[in-house]
Amino acid sequence: MKAAVFHKVGDISVDNVPDPVIEDADDIILKVTSTAICGSDLHIYDGFVPQLRDQVLGHEFMGIVEEAGPGVTKVKKGDRVVVPFTIACGQCFYCQQGFHANCMHTNPEHYGPRGDLLKEKGGGLFGYTDLYGGYNGGQAEYVRVPKANVGPKIIPDGLEDEQVLFLTDIFPTGWSAVKWGKVKPGDHVVIFGSGPVGLMAQKAAWINGAERVIAVDPLEYRLEKARRVNNVDTLNADDDDLIEKIYEMTEGRGADVAIDAVGMEAKRNILERAKAVINVEKGTMKVIELCTEAVRRSGIISVVGVYASPYDNFPIHRIFDKFLIKD
């Protein structure tokens, strides 16, 4: 079959690779009908999340069940399903509480309670490096889906692929950003990053009753899209008066909720890049710093942007990995 294979930093190609096969009784093989590229894939491509051997990428996909193992009871051959990006056992301490990304049983090599850098992660993810279980992903014609009684959901008739595909990752991620931020009617919400996750967070903020939604991004075409599809106010991240303008738009207080939908690969100027080299850091947590400026006193900062390493010795990677500071 054909698949998008990561070889090394900056090197992904569509190759012929062996078809996946059933390995465990509760596996299915899915014929992929639609898949997407996530901002998180860029972290592998750019070398922020390391991967030393070839791997099929892709954690956002849906398709038709081609084959089901003997232990699969929830779906059958021919069913059309959408698959979330986390691989979860459904039974462990975390799965029982709905924290599927922290599953204790699907990343045997690298699962660890402490979230140590490059050693201990949460549960397995599709197509997301050996640190997250080494599973091949769905940017491929076929993909093996383990734990098929837990993740895959049957799609009701009448829905097009594009009406469903975003349920794999970016819609729930944008929704979680807003839920973790406890957005409520009347809130002013500023959302850094207007990529797919930012766009979904903007929609989720409106759905949850926000009074004003402000999108921030350095790329004008992304801000234009945010205005067109979500009717939000926009500010360019490169604007020298960015924070002042956010205060002006939020009655002088700052935003009730500030959301980071950017992560460690935020755009940086030459000084910020030089500082990272001196500190031996990859990327930056400048968007979290911007959130602290943009949010009002006693406000809430909600972070869904990915952080994979510490900055100024502050263990943001561990806080990210362990899903900390929320209730």
Chain residues in the site for Zn ion (CB under 5 A): 38, 40, 88-89, 92, 95, 103, 105, 169
**CB-wise, 82 or 300, nearer to Zn ion?**
82
Q: Is 138 in the site for ligand NAD (CB under 6 A)?
A: no
Long-range pairs for 87-94 at CB < 8 Å and ≥24 separation?
87/123, 87/124, 87/125, 87/126, 87/133, 87/135, 87/146, 87/147, 87/151, 88/123, 88/147, 88/150, 88/151, 89/123, 89/147, 89/150, 90/147, 90/149, 90/150, 94/122, 94/123
Q: Is 256 in the site for ligand NAD (CB under 6 A)?
A: no
DSSP codes joined into one string, 141-171: SEEEESSTTTS-EEPPTT--GGGTGGGGTHH
Nearest distance from C-beta of residue 108 to Zn ion, angstroms: 12
Residues 156-175 that bind ligand NAD (CB under 6 A): 169-170, 173
Q: Is 58 in the site for ligand NAD (CB under 6 A)?
A: no
Nearest distance from C-beta of residue 109 to ligand NAD, angstroms: 21
Q: Is 267 in the site for ligand NAD (CB under 6 A)?
A: yes
**CB-wise, 259 or 300, nearer to Zn ion?**
259
**CB-wise, 199 or 210, nearer to ligand NAD?**
199
Q: What is the rounded distance in angstroms from the CA atom of residue 12 to the CA atom of residue 51?
A: 12
Among 20, 32, 40, 142, binds ligand NAD (CB under 6 A): 40
Contact 216, 194 (CB under 8 A): yes
Backbone torsions φ then ψ of 126, nearest 5 degrees = -70, 135
Judged by DSSP in three states, 325 sits in coil
Residues 249, 214, 38: CA angle, nearest 5 degrees: 160
Judged by CB under 6 A, the stretch of 16-24, 251-259, 261-269, 270-278 that binds ligand NAD is 261-269
Residues 191-210 that bind ligand NAD (CB under 6 A): 192-198
**CB-wise, 48 or 142, nearer to ligand NAD?**
48
Beta bridge partner(s), residue 16 = 2
The option from ligand NAD, Zn ion, none interacting with 304 (CB < 5 to 8 A, set by class) reads ligand NAD
The option from ligand NAD, Zn ion, none interacting with 215 (CB < 5 to 8 A, set by class) reads none
